[in-house]
Chain A
Amino acid sequence: MSAAVRTAPQPTASPAASRGVQESLFSRAGAMLVMGVFTLYFLVPIWWLIVSATKDRGQFTSTNPLWFADMSLVENVSALLRYDGGIFVRWIGNSLAYTAGGALLGTVLASMCGYALAKYRFRGRDTLFNVVLGGVLVPATALALPLFLIFSQVNLTNTFWAVFLPSLVSPFGVYLTRIYAAASVPDELLEAARLDGSGEVRTFFTVSVRLMFPALVTVFLFQFVAIWNNFFLPLIMLRDEAVFPVTLGLYSWNTQVNQIPELRGHVLVGALLAIIPLIVVFLLLQRFWRNGLGAGSVK
């Protein structure tokens, strides 16, 4: 997904004032070509998805896969929404609940943890940070089965919490906010806040959070995408269709295409609808995000 987001334009100084190397036309054309090819590579599947979602079942196999036939997007969408008692709407709702809640709470927890690691001195601070850093290296899929066995012990598998609770944890978020807090929240400011009688929690939420905002948006976005696309954990944890997120729901439909061919169309249209929230969140937050990535790079 992140590849679709355009990177910030390079600050190109005006050629007259620049003493930098003049790029030759050749190397520029080369760069454009490479970027063009990659843009195509990333956009063609999405284009295919959009086109396919507008076709009815017969035309899907018999017409040009990259161009529209008869427009039946509305029929397709309404058939999808009505299929199996509107289960797809429920899945989208579940995904939103897992994602919005998980990303928001996860960001708060990660930033508090990162902030504490950056700003307070206590015994074992570095050890703790190194352990968290180690957590970044462990892929989430490797933890799914142990988590399943643990959740089985407390009878929480196949519930909302089985997917929600693990989603709150973001070692990468802790890492990022620690680095960012160290760089962007001056100790003097905290000193001043303390002198003015502000408690630590209040200082964190009113002063520090604002200074750390770009980093928080970055963590939020990462968490949002990670939870929205989370597939393996729900696959292992959940049995009941009523608590499926949309990824697992679409996957489970897709495995049944041989048996119920009409599902193929639903999977396509569903996949198209399922990327819309991601696009919306990216568009809304991209401004902050770019800020966050860029800040601190020039010092």
Chain B
Amino acid sequence: MRLTKAASVGALTAVALLVAGCSSNDGSSSGGDAAAGACEPSDGAVELTFTTWIPGIEEVVDVWNEANADIQVTVQTGPNGNGGTYQNFFNQLKAGNAPDLGQIEYDALPNFRVQDGLTDLGACADVLAAQGDFVDWTWDQVSFGENGHAYAIPQDAGPMALFYRADLFEANGIAVPTTWAEYAAAAEKVKAAGGHITNFSQSDVNQFAGLVWQAGGTWFSNDGDEWGVGLAGEESTQVAEYWQDLIDRDLVSSVPPWTSEWDNAYNTGAAWTWVSAVWGANSISSGAPDTAGKWAVAPMPQWEAGDDAAGNWGGSSTAVFKGSEHVYEASKFALWLNTSDEALTLLNKGANLYPATKAGAALPALAEGVEFYGGQAIYDVFAEASTQVPAGFTWGPTMTQVYADVSDGFKGAVSGSGTLLASLESAQGSTISTLESQSIPVAK
């Protein structure tokens, strides 16, 4: 299995290069489509295809299909985006048989944008009218900050907070940290009590990105012509130095995330907190079943006492692909899927998705106390966090490469060779050269 996977990843990369190479040839035709992107209803009954990897999505689509006899949606599910579905989207766009709708995570949207795979829904009045329904920063992710444009509809969000072992903090007389300075101080006490305050994610760089996001930084910027790269910007540097210090003092562990070893650290009480997104609630309850009832959730620690910023980790959108002949109907379905109470409730129940709409935070299912967290209504914390995520964090068009390069460096840093900051600086260079090799203009 391992060999197959390695081989397929290699091949995927090769394919990605191939497709990237091919598509830059016909990139010249991209400009004219904006004007042609009308959003008119089609005559007669319409059939749409929708590719996603949301578990239990069939049930949600059935509800739509029953109520909308003339817009029937066929749903197809498969591996997650980076597991192959994104590459399939690119292949399909090239072959001209992409589905009408597809799920794309926020961090992959710029890639599809650069490859000219997305329909601008700015021509659809309903879509623009719905802007106010969504939490501001999620809209910012799909509009790339351009007024009157929307390249996808926000689906879910991953606002971050602090999961912590309430019982251990109390038994050891440690106050729940509200600032990062307090968090570092608490880490020393936790260490003295024989644990690690948390695990530094060496291979899932998204968590680190979420921390930079909270600090108000951004890794990329786009002024419409050129991409700016700022992996080692001011906020990034601040976050990197903070965690480097904790790693140097052995106050955090560095087990690879999402492994059974990592689960076990939480299950046995070796790790006491986790700064994670709303969906992390499920990861803990399933990975550490022996600790039921002992966890609680608090807002993320802040850089300055009294601040109230949160990070975001994950989240995805529903996009309409170039080539869809039924943009109006597709956007209608995407809006229903991501704003209606019935769809959001089902998505939350079946797939644990946290809505990207303002009203979604008030779903009855999200108001209940959660037994695993000692009955705390944890989603209240995330509802507040969601509104506190700064707008303006921008992803780049080559995130797969960025993640790979940064995590390579991080893996070295946690084992003592190099530093987190040095990894970011070196990824800065490799990212710029990757962008340039794909003929994507980079701001100097």
State whether A61 and B51 are in contact (beta carbons under 8 Å apart), knowing that A144-B11, A148-B91, A239-B76 are contacts in the complex.
no
Interface residues of B, CB < 8 Å — how many?
A: 45
Interface residues of B in 80-97 (CB under 8 A from A): 80, 82-84, 87-88, 91-92, 94-97
A141-B83 in contact (CB<8A): no
State whether A141 and B7 are in contact (beta carbons under 8 Å apart), knowing that A57-B289, A61-B264, A235-B79 are contacts in the complex.
yes
User: Which of the candidate stretches B114-122, B280-288, B372-380, B406-414 sits at the interface with the other chain?
Assistant: B280-288
A-B contact count (CB 8 A): 105
- A207, CB-defined interface residue at 8 Å: no
Residues of chain A within 8 A (CB-CB) of B79 are: 235, 248, 251-252, 255-256
Residues of chain A within 8 A (CB-CB) of B87 are: 236
Residues of chain A within 8 A (CB-CB) of B4 are: 229, 231
- B260, CB-defined interface residue at 8 Å: yes
- A60, CB-defined interface residue at 8 Å: yes
A259-B55 in contact (CB<8A): yes
A261-B287 in contact (CB<8A): yes
- A147-184 interface bits toward B, Cβ cutoff 8 Å, 1 = contact, 0 = none: 01100110101100000000000000000000000000
State whether A256 and B88 are in contact (beta carbons under 8 Å apart), knowing that A58-B290, A235-B8 are contacts in the complex.
no
Residues of chain A within 8 A (CB-CB) of B19 are: 145
Residues of chain B within 8 A (CB-CB) of A144 are: 11, 15
Residues of chain A within 8 A (CB-CB) of B268 are: 62
Q: Smallest CB–CB gap between A192 and chain B, Å?
A: 48
A152, A231, A255, A257: most-surrounded residue (chain B CB, <10 A): A255
Other A-B contacts than A62-B264, A255-B82, 7 sampled, CB-CB below 8 A, are: A57-B286, A58-B289, A152-B97, A157-B95, A240-B76, A248-B79, A256-B53
What CA separation (Å) do A149 and B94 show in the bound complex? 8
Residues of chain B within 8 A (CB-CB) of A126 are: none
Interface residues of A in 189-241 (CB under 8 A from B): 229, 231-232, 235-236, 238-241
- B365, CB-defined interface residue at 8 Å: no
Give which listed residue, B11, B53, B258, contacts A252 with CB less than 8 A: B53
- B271-299 interface bits toward A, Cβ cutoff 8 Å, 1 = contact, 0 = none: 00000000100110011111000000000
Residues of chain A within 8 A (CB-CB) of B94 are: 149
9 shortest interchain CB distances as A-B pairs: A261-B286, A255-B83, A152-B95, A252-B79, A255-B80, A141-B11, A239-B76, A61-B263, A58-B289
Residues of chain B within 8 A (CB-CB) of A240 are: 76
- A65, CB-defined interface residue at 8 Å: yes
What CA separation (Å) do A248 and B4 show in the bound complex? 12
- A142, CB-defined interface residue at 8 Å: yes
B260-A60 in contact (CB<8A): yes
Residues of chain B within 8 A (CB-CB) of A260 are: 55, 351-352
A262-B286 in contact (CB<8A): yes
Residues of chain A within 8 A (CB-CB) of B288 are: 61
What CA separation (Å) do A77 and B83 show in the bound complex? 26
Selected A-B contacts with CB under 8 Å, 18 pairs: A61-B260, A62-B267, A62-B290, A141-B11, A142-B11, A142-B14, A144-B11, A145-B91, A236-B84, A238-B78, A239-B78, A241-B78, A244-B78, A251-B83, A256-B80, A258-B258, A260-B351, A261-B287
B283-A145 in contact (CB<8A): no
Residues of chain B within 8 A (CB-CB) of A239 are: 51, 76, 78, 88, 99
Q: Smallest CB–CB gap between B322 and chain A, Å?
A: 15
- A132, CB-defined interface residue at 8 Å: no
State whether A148 and B95 are in contact (beta carbons under 8 Å apart), knowing that A61-B287, A259-B55 are contacts in the complex.
yes
What CA separation (Å) do A113 and B51 show in the bound complex? 41
- A81, CB-defined interface residue at 8 Å: no
Residues of chain A within 8 A (CB-CB) of B264 are: 61-62
State whether A241 and B77 are in contact (beta carbons under 8 Å apart), knowing that A145-B18, A261-B287 are contacts in the complex.
yes
- B1, CB-defined interface residue at 8 Å: yes
Closest A residue by C-beta to B351: A259
Residues of chain A within 8 A (CB-CB) of B53 are: 252, 255-256
Residues of chain B within 8 A (CB-CB) of A232 are: 7-8, 11
What CA separation (Å) do A157 and B268 show in the bound complex? 48
Residues of chain B within 8 A (CB-CB) of A61 are: 260, 263-264, 267, 287-288
Residues of chain A within 8 A (CB-CB) of B84 are: 235-236, 251, 255
Residues of chain B within 8 A (CB-CB) of A231 are: 4, 8
Closest B residue by C-beta to A62: B267
What CA separation (Å) do A255 and B287 show in the bound complex? 16
What CA separation (Å) do A229 and B3 show in the bound complex? 11
Closest B residue by C-beta to A244: B78
Closest B residue by C-beta to A149: B95
Interface residues of A in 253-287 (CB under 8 A from B): 255-262, 271
Q: Smallest CB–CB gap between A271 and chain B, Å?
A: 7
What CA separation (Å) do A157 and B283 show in the bound complex? 36
A258-B283 in contact (CB<8A): yes
B258-A257 in contact (CB<8A): yes
Q: Smallest CB–CB gap between B79 and chain A, Å?
A: 4
- B228-249 interface bits toward A, Cβ cutoff 8 Å, 1 = contact, 0 = none: 0000000000000000000000
Residues of chain A within 8 A (CB-CB) of B290 are: 58, 62
A271-B11 in contact (CB<8A): no
Q: Smallest CB–CB gap between A118 and chain B, Å?
A: 33
What CA separation (Å) do A116 and B250 show in the bound complex? 70
Q: Smallest CB–CB gap between B269 and chain A, Å?
A: 11
A65, A229, A239: most-surrounded residue (chain B CB, <10 A): A239
Residues of chain B within 8 A (CB-CB) of A153 are: 95
Give which listed residue, A65, A229, A236, contacts B260 with CB less than 8 A: A65
What CA separation (Å) do A248 and B263 show in the bound complex? 26
Residues of chain B within 8 A (CB-CB) of A148 are: 91, 95
Interface residues of A in 51-69 (CB under 8 A from B): 57-58, 60-62, 65
Q: Smallest CB–CB gap between A99 and chain B, Å?
A: 16
Residues of chain B within 8 A (CB-CB) of A259 are: 55, 279, 282, 351-352
Closest A residue by C-beta to B204: A258
A252-B287 in contact (CB<8A): no
What CA separation (Å) do A255 and B91 show in the bound complex? 20
Closest A residue by C-beta to B2: A45
What CA separation (Å) do A235 and B94 show in the bound complex? 16
Q: Smallest CB–CB gap between B121 and chain A, Å?
A: 23
Closest A residue by C-beta to B282: A261
Residues of chain A within 8 A (CB-CB) of B289 are: 57-58
Interface residues of A in 109-149 (CB under 8 A from B): 141-142, 144-145, 148-149
Residues of chain B within 8 A (CB-CB) of A235 are: 8, 79, 84, 88
- B347-387 interface bits toward A, Cβ cutoff 8 Å, 1 = contact, 0 = none: 00001100000000000000000000000000000000000
